[in-house]
Amino acid sequence: MKIGMVCYPSYGGSGVVATELGYALGERGHEVHFISSSRPFRLHRYHEQLFFHEVADVSYPLFKTAPYTLLLANKIVEVANYVGLDLIHAHYAIPHSISAYLAIQMMTKPLPLVTTLHGTDVTLVGAFEEFYQLTRLALRVSDRITSVSRALALETEETFGRADQGIDVIPNFIDPKVYFPLEGLPGRCRKYFAPQGEKILAHISNFREVKRVVDVVNIFARVEKTIPCRLLLVGDGPEMSRVEREVLKLGLEGKVQFLGKQESVVEILQMVDVFLLPSGQESFGLVALEAMACGVPVVASRVGGLPEVVQHGKTGYLADVGDVQGMSEAVLRLLSDKFLYKAFSEQAVHWARETFPVERAVLGYEKVYQEVCLRSNARSRRPEAGK
C-alpha cells in the first residue's frame, strides 16, 4: 500500500509513533509518505520505502500567520496525485484530519481517511469550545478512528458521543531491539552523572504544564533527603523557567541536571533507576513504556491511559495526580529494597515486550488500512443511484 502519513514533526509521542510505525510498515513492503511542516525528528534513518514531503511555509502581507491547514491540504492532494496514495493516515485530529478531509474533497477519486487520536487533540484541544465542532467533524468524516488507549477511546465517546463505526484501540508500542536493558552493565554515562554511585531518577517530556515537572522536582527533593540520588531532566518547553526556579528554590542545583531536547532517549533510560511521570493528563505515556522496556520501573499518576501502561505494584507505582508525598514514598520503596527493585525491573521488561510489541501494532494498523481500502473500492464500484 501507499500510505500518506500526516503528523507533527516536533518532539512528542505522536510524531514518534507515526515515524516508528512508518519504519515498521516500510519493512513490510509498504510505501510510506510523510507529509509535515518539517522532517519528523525521529525520521533520520534512510529507508528506501520511506519518503518525506515538506509543506511549504508561505508568507503574504495579508496573512497574520501562514494558513498551515490549507497548505497541508494542498500538499496532500499533490502527493496523492503524484505518487498514487491508497489512503491517508492522520495522527491528531486537529488540524491533520481536517486538512485531509479538505484534500479529499479536491480529489477526483476520494481516498479513505484513518485518524489516530493521541490524547491532547481530544482531552485538551478538542474539549476547548473553539475546537469542539471541528474535532467532531474530524471524527465524523474519518473512515476509521483509532485511539492509543482504552481510556482515550472512552473519553472521546464521552466528550463527542459514540462514533458510528466505533473506535479501534491500538496501543502504542516499542521495538525491543531498540529499547532493552543493559544487563549487568552500568549505563555508559552513569559514572558521569552519579560519580559516587548515587541512584538516578529521570523525567522526559516537552515541559508543558500538563506534565507537572515541578512535581518531579518536589518528588526528587523528598527522595534525596533519604537516599543519595541525582535527577536528570530531559526536554524543554514552556515550563522550563518555572522548573529551574523550583530547583534553585530547593537548593538542588548540584543534584539536578538539565539535558535539554534529546533525539534518542534510550541511552539515557538505560542508566536510570526510576522514571517519573506525574502528569495531570496522559492518554498513554509512551515514554513510560520506553522506560519499562529498558528495565526502569515507573512512578506515575493514576490518570488517563497510564493504568493501562504501568502495572501498579508490578512494573511501577501509580498515585493520584499531585500526590507528591505518595510518589516519593513509592520511589523510596523501590530504591530501598533491592529484591523488590529487581522484580519490578524484570516484570517491566517482560510486560513491555509481551504487551506492546511493535509487530502487534503494525498488524492492527495494516488490518484497518486493508478494511478501509476494501470498503472504499466497493463504494467506487457501486453504480450511482438512478443509473
Question: Taking the complex as a whole, how short is the minimal distance between the CB of residue 339 and ligand GMT, in angstroms?
Answer: 31
Q: What is the DSSP letter of 331?
A: H
Residue 31 sits in the site that holds ligand GMT (CB under 6 A):
no
C-beta separation of 238 from 209 below 8 A: yes
Backbone angles phi, psi at 89, to 5 degrees: -115, 110
Residue 299 sits in the site that holds ligand GMT (CB under 6 A):
no
Total residues at interface with ligand GMT (CB under 6 A): 19
Q: Which of 144, 190 has the CB closer to ligand GMT?
A: 144
272 vs 42, 229, 285, 335, CA distance in Å? 22, 11, 17, 12
Question: Taking the complex as a whole, how short is the minimal distance between the CB of residue 332 and ligand GMT, in angstroms?
Answer: 26
Q: For 290-309, give the DSSP string.
A: HHHHTT--EEEES-TTHHHH
Question: Taking the complex as a whole, how short is the minimal distance between the CB of residue 118 and ligand GMT, in angstroms?
Answer: 4
Residue 13 sits in the site that holds ligand GMT (CB under 6 A):
yes
Residue 172 sits in the site that holds ligand GMT (CB under 6 A):
yes
CA angle (54, 60, 64) in 5-degree steps: 95
- Choose, by CB under 6 A, the member of 206, 257, 262, 355 that binds ligand GMT: 206
Q: Which of 210, 348 has the CB closer to ligand GMT?
A: 210
Within residues 237-266, the interface with ligand GMT by CB under 6 A covers none
Residue 120 sits in the site that holds ligand GMT (CB under 6 A):
yes
Rounded distance between C-alpha atoms, residue 211 and residue 216, angstroms:
9
**Residue (of 231, 232, 242) closest to 209 by Cα position:** 242
Residue 159 sits in the site that holds ligand GMT (CB under 6 A):
no
**Residue (of 323, 293, 294, 297) closest to 311 by Cα position:** 297
- Choose, by CB under 6 A, the member of 146, 156, 218, 283 that binds ligand GMT: 283
- Choose, by CB under 6 A, the member of 79, 80, 200, 210 that binds ligand GMT: 210
Backbone angles phi, psi at 33, to 5 degrees: -110, 105
Please report, as ranges, the residues that interact with ligand GMT according to CB under 6 A: 12-15, 17, 118-120, 148, 172, 206, 208, 210, 281-286
